[in-house]
Structure 1
């Protein structure tokens, strides 16, 4: 058994976790609670946030249409600030209310300058994302969306430009779905480093296998997958230099060739910044 504590203003809460050499899954050890990024470390982070009543806000829209827009306009190398700016710009145009706009209007709106952080910016993929978003909004308008996580995810992947990751992101955000996983670079790196994801699998070819491994890990830790995903994403995104340093020390492998950086980056670590939107 290993112990850790959470310091509150007027109290100290003790947390007990399995011994570091105990297995959480076959061949996967809990590891030290103070060693980033072991399974024990992730368990502590989830529990500590619960005790501190610190939540990570990941829902981005107030309707399914808005949630689809926010998720589809972000990710895939688009900076979070630009994705959010594009979402707010389209929201002001009325893109997510009333009859769904056509591709031409969406492309025109996304091509306009928009404000982000007090400055004007441009959205790089206006034509491509306008086509995808027009198809997605039309589908929502014409069909009845499922109200269960994986069903909604599988319903969304029929839309051009929406794959498993984006569709899972929409389902998790909108329905707090715990039967899907959002397998982006941060979750993949965390899973490989902690040992609960197979480093030889890729999201392009083995998304559902990797997803099941993540769900199995969450179940073994006895935490909600949506909660664990949000905690891991935030910590990994905020500790990039540390993560990249660890990756460089790994033995040569196909995963390292795919995901390890070629040069150092500036660490953006800000521990315990819990009240953030996850635009991945």
Structure 2
């Protein structure tokens, strides 16, 4: 057994975790709790966030239309602050109301300069994303998406042009707080390779569902919610980019993530 201490004001809470050599799941040792980014480290961080009341709020929209729009306008090389700005911009124009705006109107809105961190910027891929957003809003206005599970909603969203497993899983996780899907972006992939809970021979492009299954099995092994773990790993890996790159530069991890899209989670 190993202990991890969590300090809250003048109180100390000890978290008991298995020994470093014990296995979370077959072939994956817990590692030392202080060793970033070991499985024990992730378990400790989840429990620490819970005790501190620092739940990561990953929902972006007030309606499913808005959630789809926010996720669809992010990712694919678009910085999270730009994707969020575009979402708020078109929402302010009325994109997610009862009447679905036509593609040409959405394109006009996405072409308008936006203020981001005190400077005016233009949204990349406005034409492509206007087409995708128009199709998504039309489908959401005329059909009833299943919401019985994350996978059911995810699979329904996959029929929308421009939405693949990653974006569809992002929407499902955010909207339903779902633990049966995973958002496998570059940060999660790197964590999985460093922590050895992902098979390094698999790729997101060809083996998304297999990697997702491995992530969910890993979260169950830790005894935490997949949605909670996904959000926390993303935040920590994104915030520790220099450390992650240093570890990877030492040759400890295959550079499998080079072909991945950049993070699709705005604020995740």
Where in structure 2 are there 5+ consecutive unaligned residues?
none
TM-score (norm 2): 0.95
Tell me the TM-score normalised to structure 1 length.
Answer: 0.91
The match for 2:31 is 31
The 1:257–1:278 alpha-carbon spacing in structure 2 relative to 1, beyond 3 Å, is closer
SS across alignment from 1:6 = strand
1: distance between equivalents of 2:11 and 2:235?
Answer: 26
Deviations 1:59-97 (A, max 9, x none): 000000000011000111101111111001000100001
1:188 maps to what in 2? 189
Aligned to 1:94: 94
Q: Distance in 2 between matches of 1:19 and 1:107?
A: 55
Shift of 1:200: 1.3
- 5+ residue gaps, structure 1: 260-276
- Name the counterpart of 1:241: 242
1:279 paired with 2:234, answer no
Contact 1:250 1:256 (8 Å CA) reproduced? no
- Corresponding position of 2:130: 130
Task: From the superposition, tell whether residues 17 and 198 of structure 1 become closer, same or farther in structure 2 (CA, over 3 Å).
Answer: same
Counterpart of 1:209 in 2: which secondary structure?
helix
Structure 2 residue aligned with 1:198: 199
1:211 aligned partner: 212
User: In 1, distance between residues paired with 2:127 and 2:112?
Assistant: 12
Q: 1-side partners of 2:103 and 2:22: how far apart?
A: 54
Tell me what 1:73 maps to. Answer: 73
CA contact (8 A) 1:234 1:278 kept: no
Q: Deviations over 1:229-257 (max 9, x none)?
A: 01100000000000001111125846276
For residue 98 of structure 1, report the CA deviation from its aligned partner.
1.5
Q: What SS is found at the alignment partner of 2:13?
A: strand
Partner of residue 170, structure 1: 171
Number of corresponding residues: 263
Aligned residue number for residue 14 of structure 1: 14
Q: Is contact 2:24-2:30 (8 Å) kept?
A: yes
Query: Aligned pair in 2 of structure 1 residues 112, 254: CA closer, same or farther (>3 Å)?
Result: closer
Deviation at 1:19, TM superposition (A): 0.2
CA distance in 1, matches of 2:97, 2:24: 46
Runs ≥4 residues deviating over 3 A: 251-254, 256-259, 277-280
CA contact (8 A) 1:74 1:279 kept: no
Shift of 1:118: 2.1
